[in-house]
Chain A
Amino acid sequence: MGVLSRRCLLVPLSLAGVLLSAGVLSAQFNPIVEWSWTSSLVEPTALNVMMTPSVIDLNGDGIPDVVFASTASTGGAVVEVGFLRALNGNDGSELFTVAAPALRVNTTCSVATGDIDLDGRPEIVACDTTGNRLVAFEHDGTFKWRTNPLETINWGSPSIADLNQDGTPEIIIGRQALNNAGVLLWTGTGTSGGGSSQGPLSLVSDIDVDGSPEVVAGRTVYNAAGGIDFQNLALPDGLNAVANFDADPEAEVVLVSAGQVWLLEHTMTVIWGPVPIPGGGFGGPPTIADYDGDGEAEIGVAGLSTYTVFETNGTVKWSAVVQDASSNRTGSSVFDFEGDGAAEVVYGDELRLWVFRGTDGAVLFDTPKSSCTWYEYPLVADVDGDGSAEILGVANNNCFAGTERGVFVWGDANDQWALTRPMWNQHTYHITNVNVDGSIPAIEQNNWQVTGFNNFRLNEFGEFEGPPCDIDANRQVDRDDISAIFAARNQPAVPGDARDFDGDGIITVTDARACVLQCTNALCAP
């Protein structure tokens, strides 16, 4: 089924509202397991997964791949040694496992993927077993480089962004930035964006809209050169997300730390907070979305015994009972499966995968999925390349007697979930940080300034698809898109392949020419 016909399945907004309020639409929310990875011939005992995976097309076959690491350990340590793996997103078959003892990785640290060396293929940035070094792999799992010792990483995860906007990405981990060869560029002097000793989860975004990206790390905002632009010494270090909550163009910053939530101006001055997380716990990496379809941004945070959505003004919108006594700082993601303008919450606690309705927290779906819990979260992406959204979750039996281990993909039994990108490349994913082809934009569009976005840890959904022919999903059709189509001439198209403009199943110069005529700028200039 092609992209155009899938679009026809989207429920119109007005009708969706009626159906949702009548309880009809939720009846269509019927996830089934599309595939799972629960055994392997390579390192067969290493089946415990506790990181947020990455979804990206590693080998350029047009099918997304799933990148993660797994361990045989059943402990609950900050470093769990295991193996980097990649699966074909279409069916879960294994692409590779990096089994060499010297190349084992820390499986509690989520990988980041993206084309850091501009070779047209994404690389994989993971954490090594020391708990303080990054290690990079080529798209096929071959070793690329390893950093010198850095600051504590543990559960923390790197981000990939072009800090200096020179076209070559940098890697950011906590308050440190490295070049694309893993050489340290700078170490900031403020906080690192982590919770206690678990590790940092800093993010990159141009929150002050000055044209240059900042690194947001807890209570500190670093400029691209590592200097401190803003900080609030009265606040603790913690976990962040950014989006726009008011009328000014700058982003606001959500800070979660020690069981409390703050909303901050981009200058780190407090707008509201601290607001306690109902049920306590440290609190996990926050999400930002329009959970109720009111056009405003709200905040989702997982705690020890609840998952809570906070209104724009900091009041509690709803709390749902969950169980996360182990880490009580797991992440979550958000997606508007039904295309009704209100996002659903996707979350995994120690026992189950949950999907909560964004408007009121009603349980739309839950199923057994065990984890000792770290920073990980289930995500939503077009995992199998069919155009539609799937839920990608991981499981482990660390710490306690869980039963599920491995990687699981759920899709809609009726194949009616909204379209989305075949992409989720890092823990601090926010759509505009990466192009669909795995390249990192030299100048990232501010997520909150793109129509229909204003979110964090939420994937793009169908009604906000880019223009036809926008292969790299940068919201314009330009020479890069035409080159991508032309380079694939005479290759068979995959289902929903945007390069196959005329939908005849083969990519030709005719498709490229049709897209030239769609170019945003004269002569297809970027």
Chain B
Amino acid sequence: MKRLLVLVAVLAALVTAAPARAVTISFDPSSTTVDVGDLVNIDVVISGLDASEDIVSAYDLDVTYNSSIVNATGVDFGPFLGGPGFVLEDFILSSGRIDFAAESLLTDQQLAALQPDSFVLATLSFIALTPGTTALNFDPVAPPGILIVSFGGFPIDPATIIAGTGEIVVRGPVQTPEPSTLWLGLVGLLAARELRRRRAR
């Protein structure tokens, strides 16, 4: 009987317990392939928000990349922290690093009403420099780490934030036949044709 009660209690707890909060920041697209010289935009998306639990009232993030493959050219900020006039925004581009931050001037209640469960924090722009693959990572170490501020001016525990990764694949130039190669091929074809005709006789 005692075992049965424990089992019921455990099952009840499993059924009624709220799912663990999982705020995620990710890159969209998480992987993209471009050619040398191409411009590419990558969204930084936050998801898993629940307006009753979390908002984004401010954030400060660092994204690292391989600066020999691509180079960052700018940051466009999303509208969900208040838009022009109601938010402070700043970004710093340095070799292999994008440091970007935003600070909303709206109240927590206004932000809760404004923000969906998932939205774009910012769009990072790159130019492809040389063939290869660069990873995109959120830097959890460089101050202030992964800092996302929620209700009451309190940061979300970074240990509970799932930080995704991304990549940009830069293709090498496509191999196009040179004229001499074309001629050689044509001669070969003609020779093969002549050989087949002679054999047919």
Contact = CB atoms under 8 A, between A and B. Distances in A.
A482 B153 CA distance: 13
B40 interface: no
Interface string B81-101: 000001010100000000001
Interface stretch (A228-236, A301-309, A504-512): A504-512
A46 to B, nearest CB: 42
A489 B101 contact: yes
14 contacts: A486-B88, A486-B90, A489-B101, A489-B144, A490-B144, A506-B143, A506-B144, A508-B143, A508-B147, A510-B144, A513-B149, A516-B103, A516-B104, A523-B86
Nearest to A483: B88
A482 B143 contact: no
A468 to B, nearest CB: 12
Nearest to A492: B143
A508 B59 CA distance: 9
Interface string A497-521: 0000000001011101110110100
Contact of A513 (B86, B90, B103, B144): B103
Contacts of B86: 523
A524 interface: yes
Q: Looking at A506, A509, A519, A524, which has the most chain B CB atoms within 10 Å of its CB?
A: A509
A487 to B, nearest CB: 8
Nearest to B152: A517
A257 B103 CA distance: 54
Interface residues of B, number: 23
Kindly state the interface size class of chain A when it binds its partner.
10 to 19
Contacts of B152: 517
A482 B103 contact: yes
A475 interface: no
A25 B36 CA distance: 76
A487 B103 CA distance: 11
Nearest to B99: A490
B57 interface: yes
A146 interface: no
A512 B153 CA distance: 9
Contacts of B129: none
A513 B111 CA distance: 13
B109 to A, nearest CB: 11
Nearest to B82: A523
B78 interface: no
A508 B148 CA distance: 11
Given A479-B105, A486-B101, A508 B153 contact: no
B153 A523 contact: no
B106 A513 contact: no
Nearest to B142: A490
B155 interface: yes
A516 B153 contact: yes
B105 A490 contact: no
Contacts of A524: 105
A56 B149 CA distance: 33
A482 B108 CA distance: 16
Contacts of B101: 486, 489, 509
B147 to A, nearest CB: 6
A487 B153 CA distance: 18
